Structure 1
């Protein structure tokens, strides 16, 4: 029994160090050490194992349980970025409604996408992977110029459109679309984000009984992940410049192709509020094509704005992403 507990203790300490490594994404960029960003992908599994082992030590009446419980407090916010239980906030007529949605070019039904967006009656709609769609059903909405990937639609006055590309000028990768929108006499800067995708297929990550084939699949996945992390670092740098130089409060939303606690999350949310952390409930999982909890869609805002609701609408399956619906109070905090 002592040997068994020693093995569990070593495993528990190892998991702890891996979890702490994921927190270093706030400080160490992928171009210096990309493996910390890799750890963020496994955070849900690691934290569940950590909690299970901590409970085991509690039930075993071991003093080490208190040490692991105390250190575990460092992971409260990282966990809340995946699963959260916020208190109710009152909505009012002064709130603005934002919908962010990766529509996968309408491949699962263009009319269904348009009918859904029309029914939402949102003030601002931020779309990713729109495939250059037209939106004849959304009458009364102003729209940014089509670029085939990102689109912002709004009922309000729209100006100062700008596309952002990767920092690496040899790679013409669209990463974000900016537009200033005047709502009820005040201007807000909206940034619609779509970071470079990993371009996985299900068969690439589905493991089977062939250990050699599985090893090759894992290597293939890592070969795609590491370069993509580095591309994201360049894209994040460009977007941060726009956010930091904005003369207006900002609302940032979209498909980040990055999970919570990643380098991308930490640096794009810097000095901003995560609407899910403020008012979300339950799971924030927004990408449902794989049978694994994945949150890659976000809504961040300046601290002068207050999120009053955040919903991942799982009632529709018209894309491989669920729509994210957020309401903000226009009253200053």
Structure 2
């Protein structure tokens, strides 16, 4: 009787493990599907962290049972390691050869330096702290999204405080001018000369765009992109409303549909935007580093398209989960730096000490590979 029960239990767990593996395979396939062509695929891909975590639990379960069935989750873990690395990364500090040419890049969605927050004395002080933190960061290149500058304000004259004060070259693409006559957009600041620059506009969106600058790094040119893709458009109030609606079927369905519509709209928009971005990157005559707010998790068509052609700095040189969203949804890594083959990331950091925006800044250090001798 006991043996029969163990056999039934094993079959049940094996069936569940098999279903989890099929879920993973379906999710991986859905990563390849443009949301504009079949948007439900984006939601299936979005769910991938769940079956990946369940597969790891099955791996531990079969190990503890000392069962040969551990082969199933172990195979998924080994062959799917690249997807597990998107969840969490483990890297050790690398030494850089003496005399190597290096470059540090900082990326930060500044949330307009909180300029639109209802101010009291502490809020103004927080904005000033954020601006000072960016201005004094030692990075060679600083890429800023939702950048805000008001020449008529002593607090928010950020072009002067970040650029002029530290003799940085700059490229600021203004998306719009607000009612305070302040400029809002995307910016690149560089210690090295900018020899060329341009803007990639994403269709009708006047806010979301990518800008690029060719930077002369001690005789080598690197193309730097600062990108801001379509927002998820999900506010903390939307999350709270959905949670509070649990138990009220009609209200929960309403809030759930609202969230789903917002997610769908974002998936489709970012899928189109990343294709435009990659078209431009493929034409670059120089090594590229693209950093910014992608507004999509590593299990998305947007991220997957980037990762198929470029390396991710967090995966290559980071450690931990690397969450960059400072909001009500935990563990989201939606800010990234990608780079091409002629570079190598050797250090990556998520700056949790700067928690004044709804994003945490990220920085990476790169080695520029020597040019092949002709």
TM-score by length of structure 1 reads 0.91
Which stretch of the first structure deviates more once superposed, 93-102 or 295-304?
A: 93-102
Q: Secondary structure at the match of 2:363?
A: strand
Q: How far apart are the structure 1 equivalents of 2:205 and 2:188? A: 23
1:66 corresponds to 2:71:
yes
- 1:1-333 aligned at under 5 Å gives the runs 6-91=11-96, 94-107=101-114, 109-132=126-149, 134-138=158-162, 139=165, 140-147=167-174, 148-166=184-202, 169-172=203-206, 174-206=208-240, 207-208=243-244, 209-212=246-249, 213-332=251-370
Cα displacement (A) at 1:159: 3.5
Q: Secondary structure at the match of 2:231?
A: coil
Which stretch of the first structure deviates more once superposed, 109-118 or 321-330?
A: 109-118
Cα displacement (A) at 1:230: 1.3
CA displacement 1:181-221 (0-9 Å, x = unmatched): 11111111111111100110123234244241333322221
Q: How far apart are the structure 2 equivalents of 1:172 and 1:119? A: 30
Which stretch of the first structure deviates more once superposed, 318-327 or 212-221?
A: 212-221
Q: Secondary structure at the match of 1:248?
A: coil
Q: Secondary structure at the match of 1:84?
A: coil
Q: How far apart are the structure 2 equivalents of 1:32 and 1:11? A: 31
Cα displacement (A) at 1:74: 2.7
Q: Secondary structure at the match of 1:200?
A: coil
Q: Secondary structure at the match of 1:149?
A: strand
Gaps of 5+ in 1: none
Cα displacement (A) at 1:171: 4.6
TM-score by length of structure 2 reads 0.81
| Conservation of the 8 A alpha-carbon contact between 1:102 and 1:254 | yes
Gaps of 5+ in 2: 115-122, 151-157, 175-183
| Conservation of the 8 A alpha-carbon contact between 2:31 and 2:42 | no
Cα displacement (A) at 1:285: 1.0
Relative to structure 1, the CA distance from residue 197 to residue 39 in structure 2 (aligned partners, 3 Å threshold; closer, same or farther) is same
Runs of 4+ more than 6 Å apart: none
Q: Secondary structure at the match of 1:120?
A: coil
Cα displacement (A) at 1:141: 1.2
| Conservation of the 8 A alpha-carbon contact between 1:156 and 1:183 | yes
| Conservation of the 8 A alpha-carbon contact between 1:191 and 1:252 | yes
Higher RCO, Cα 8 Å, sep 6+: 1
Q: How far apart are the structure 1 equivalents of 2:136 and 2:256? A: 42
CA displacement 1:8-45 (0-9 Å, x = unmatched): 44443333222222322453211222233223433333
Cα displacement (A) at 1:271: 2.5
Which stretch of the first structure deviates more once superposed, 135-144 or 307-316?
A: 135-144
Which protein shows a greater Rg? 2
Relative to structure 1, the CA distance from residue 276 to residue 220 in structure 2 (aligned partners, 3 Å threshold; closer, same or farther) is same
